[in-house]
Amino acid sequence: MNDIRFSSDQSDEFGRPAGRRGFDLGGMLIRWGIAKNRQQAEYVMIGIVVLTFVAIFFLLWKSGSPELPPLTPDDLVSQNSSTSHEA
């Protein structure tokens, strides 16, 4: 059991994989001149996410259901009597 050996050809075995993979939005923001470096690009993306959540919250809050008039006991009685006679 002492003769087990592991060989690895890669010097950076646990690092970032070589080659370009995936979508690089941060790189696009830098190329477009919106951000100067990777950290600024991340701040811009975080800002976009926060603004999106605020906009969604605002739109949902403004588009709430219209106020319904309060039900009176007479309304409840009329609803119960009409449903029981429909069958």
Helix (H, G, I), strand (E, B) or coil at 19: coil
- Please check whether residue 34 is in contact with residue 41, taking contact to mean a CB–CB distance below 8 angstroms: yes
pLDDT band at 65 (very low <50, low <70, confident <90, very high): low
Q: Is residue 52 part of a domain?
A: yes
Query: With 90 as the cut, is the pLDDT of residue 39 above it?
Result: yes
Q: What's the pLDDT score for residue 33?
A: 96
Q: Which amino acid is at 28?
A: M
Report residue 19 as tokens: 């080659």
Q: Any idea which of 7-16, 44-53, 57-66, 73-82 has the lowest mean pLDDT?
A: 7-16
Q: Is residue 46 part of a domain?
A: yes
Q: Is residue 56 part of a domain?
A: yes
Q: Which amino acid is at 20?
A: R
Domain count, the chain: 1
**Domain encompassing residue 53:** 23-60
Query: With 60 as the cut, is the pLDDT of residue 10 above it?
Result: no
Q: What is the pLDDT of residues 50-63, one digit of tens each?
A: 999 999 998 888 77
Q: Is residue 77 part of a domain?
A: no
